[in-house]
Structure 1
Amino acid sequence: MRRLWVMPLAAAMLVGCSEKQPPEPIRPALYVVARPELAQDLGRFAGNIEARYESTLGFRVPGRIVRRYYDVGTVVKQGDILANLDPTDQQNQLRSAQGDLAKVQAQLINAKANARRQQELFDRGVGAQAQLDTAQADLKTTQASMQQAQAAVNQAQDQLSYCNLRADHDAVITQWQAEAGQVVSIGQEVVTLARPEIKEAVIDLPGPLAEALPKGIEFRVAGQLDPNINTSAHIREIAPQADSATRTRRTRLTLDSTPAAFRLGSSVSVTVSSPTAEHFQLPLTAIQETDGPPRVWIIDTATQTVSPRDITVLRRTTKSVLLSGGIKAGDMVVSAGVHSLTPGQKVRLDKESSQ
């Protein structure tokens, strides 16, 4: 009888325990805050800061370079001598021209004296008209020879001065194309000068992108060493033909402002973007795809619960997804473990886990 009384009591205790459900555990949630993007990123390209105005200088006479006075990167002033040639040939030409000039000057003295003498004889009635005409003609011929000889001297002096290659404006030396001891011809490129007052960014854009740049294209130029140093820019010039090897087109950008860190030759990173409708970029792991439309899970900060929301996907990559609708700025979106969530489930927001 005692055994029969114990068994109903044990059964009653089991029924009472089964009626009490254990509380649902609160799971931690990784999340990201939705931030709107108003521009479409078209790519990032490496470039350099260059001067808008550059000039390549060469000697106006042939010869052998005997000296270069400055190195690359030196700031020079207008009129500074950059390099010079061996002036021996030009000095010989000048001496020859000066000798011819001295000879003609002596002839001119004789021609003037003869013309004056014939004029005096003719005035006294003892000289012939023919002799006076001949003397005056010789004087004019000698005067013309004098002018020709003087021009030859001036030209020889100019040729001698051309042995000095001078800067035609204030500039920075960016490149030497010839070395001391090298023989150069007339007009051969010797040195490149850049005017530092106006700078621009130079990049190479892929041919298809350069040919189909959308309206309102935006360029952001930033220093590669310090991206916080940046400025906006706009297109000044696109090369009409693509490079035969790389199939890219050289693009020159006018800087809206020129930070001091943008020195000639410094490397920059140029981000190309185009204005577009508001969209959001989320990690690919934040998207839950079932039989219906794709969705994300939004965290209600007041109740610490999650709820699903349908979204519209614009584009996918291997790590992220671009959305055009379904969420709004400031929404807290669960970024991991979305396939194990249920509507109304409580979550714990761990600040160290937020992205």
Structure 2
Amino acid sequence: MKHLLLVFASVMLVACSKEEAAPEPVRPVLSIKVEALGEQNLGRFAGSIQARYESNVGFRVPGRIASRSVDVGAEVEKGALLASLDPTDQKNQLRSAEGDLASIRANLINAQATARRQQSLFDQGVGSQAQLDAAQTDLKTTQASLDQAQAAVNQAKDQLNYVELRADHKAVVTAWMAEAGQVVTAGQQVVTLAQPDIKEAVIDLPDTLVDQLPQDVVFQVALQLTPEINTTAVVREIEPQAESTTRTRRARLTLSETPTAFRLGSAISVTLSSAIKPQIELPLSALQEVEGKSRIWIVDTQSQTVSPRDVSIVSRTDTTVVVASGVKSGERVVSAGVNSLKPGQKVKVDEGSPQ
């Protein structure tokens, strides 16, 4: 009986030792590779590509628009006809001025003949000084009237030329403010011309953000439909006052480069960022609070084990934390399930984890 008890005890001891020697199972974990952030994202805004230089032009004389020669979006060369007025009034004014000029020219011929005759009579001693002075005064007055009439004709010709609105530089037509048949006044804005050579990005920024923009702010400008086409930009000007309804201020940005795809009117997406001291951002699920200290779990990629490490937290949100010290760029950190880990525990990095 004693022999059987000894055999049974021996078997139990061997079984227990085998159970104690059984290795811990390898635990799958989610992890991320740490990367230091050198920029702070300040927001993303929609905008458009516009010409830096635009001009609103109109006719120099009043009248009714007879025709429009180009449409919005058309590229025009210097001197190209944009629109024209009904020239009837200007032609009538020119005919009237030319008639006055012809009449005064005839009067000038008579005044010249009278002045010569009075001079001849005075030289012969049969004409009076008063008659000679009157003839010469009339000649000078008529000559002045002729000059005035000639100026009126020139002005009437200019007025006739002004019924045609022409581009004074190479431009793109971006807007029309009047249609054919509409009566316009002198100087009234009729069409907007944009110089296509120099383009810039235009966005509306919240008034509260503008006051907080750092001097080294960087703007990343990309096309909304093809974001791979992008460039950087700097502030050229920001409107001093906010728009009353939206509380935004318009900002104009000078592009460092102008890709061909950046056409006038193209919709763009502008991201604001600023250089900061390198920081590391981790998901909130990677953080473990133990006895008032914050720690994370570092994955040793060689031994496939984990170890805890205390970290210093700069800030946190509902989903992320910013770590100031305790972890370096390039290390791998467990991103979920940290509360069930033990120091030195074997883990298997999930294949879906970022490398």
TM-score normalised per structure 1: 0.95
The one-letter amino acid paired with 1:207 is D
Partner of 1:62: 62
Distance in 1 of aligned mates of 2:103 and 2:123: 31
Residue range with higher mean Cα deviation, 41-50 or 5-14: 5-14
Residue pair 1:122, 1:132 contacting (<8 A) in 2 also: yes
Contact in 2 for aligned 1:296/1:308 (Cα 8 Å):
yes
1:83 aligns with 2:83: yes
Separation (CA, whole Å) in 2 of partners of 1:286 and 1:227: 32
Q: Which residue of 1 aligns with 2:238?
A: 238
CA shift, 1:39, in A, is 1.4
Q: How does 1:14-33 map to 2 (within 5 A)?
A: 14-20=12-18, 21=20, 22-33=22-33
**Counterpart code for 2:13:** V
Equivalents in 2 of 1:210, 1:18: separation in Å? 71
**Corresponding residue number in structure 2 for 1:303:** 303
The 1:299–1:232 alpha-carbon spacing in structure 2 relative to 1, beyond 3 Å, is same
In structure 2, what is the Cα distance between the partners aligned to 1:320 and 1:205? 26
In 2: Cα distance, 1:24 partner to 1:230 partner: 52
* Distance in structure 2 (CA, Å) of the matches to 1:122 and 1:167: 60
SS state of the match for residue 323, structure 2? strand
What does the per-residue CA deviation read over 1:48-94, in whole Å, with 9 as the maximum and x for residues that have no partner? 11111100001111111111111111111111110111111111111
SS in 1 for 2:121: helix
Q: Separation in 1 of the partners of 2:57 and 2:196?
A: 17
Contact between 2:222 and 2:230, CA under 8 Å: does it hold in 1?
yes
Q: Which residue does 1:191 correspond to in 2? A: 191
Distance (Å, rounded) in 1 between the aligned partners of 2:324 and 2:65? 66
Shift in Å, 1:26: 0.7
C-alpha displacement of 1:196:
0.9
Structure 1 segment 1-355 matched on structure 2, within 5 A: 6=4, 9-20=7-18, 21=20, 22-354=22-354
Note if contact 1:206-1:249 (Cα within 8 Å) is conserved in structure 2.
yes
> 1:5: how far off?
5.8
Q: Take 1:143 and 1:36, find their aligned partners in 2: how far apart are those partners?
A: 88
**Contact 1:30–1:354 under 8 Å retained in 2:** no
Preserved contact between residue 298 and residue 331 of structure 2 (Cα < 8 Å): yes
Distance 1:298 1:128 in 2: 125
Q: Which runs of 5+ in 2 are unaligned?
A: none
Whether the 8 Å contact between 2:34 and 2:330 is mirrored in structure 1 is yes
Which deviations, in whole Å up to 9, do the C-alpha atoms of 1:300-350 show, x marking residues without a partner? 111111111122222223332222222111011111111111111111123
CA distance in 1, matches of 2:82, 2:313: 62
RMSD: 1.6
1:228 Cα shift? 2.0
In the aligned structure 1, how far is the partner of 2:197 from the partner of 2:293? 57
**What code does the residue aligned with 2:268 have?**
V
Deviation at 1:177, TM superposition (A): 1.0
The separation in 1 between residues aligned to 2:99 and 2:311, in whole angstroms, is 95
Whole-Å separation in 2 of the counterparts to 1:99 and 1:86 = 22
Aligned length: 353
Residues 130-160 of structure 1: per-residue CA shift (max 9 Å, x gap): 1111111111000011111111111111111
Q: Which amino acid aligns with 2:343?
A: P
CA distance in structure 1 between the partners assigned to 2:214 and 2:180 by the alignment:
50
Does the 8 Å contact 2:32/2:353 carry over to 1?
no
Q: CA deviation at 1:100?
A: 0.9
Amino-acid identity (%): 61
8 Å CA contact 2:48–2:202 kept in 1: the answer is yes
Amino acid in the other structure paired with 1:121: L
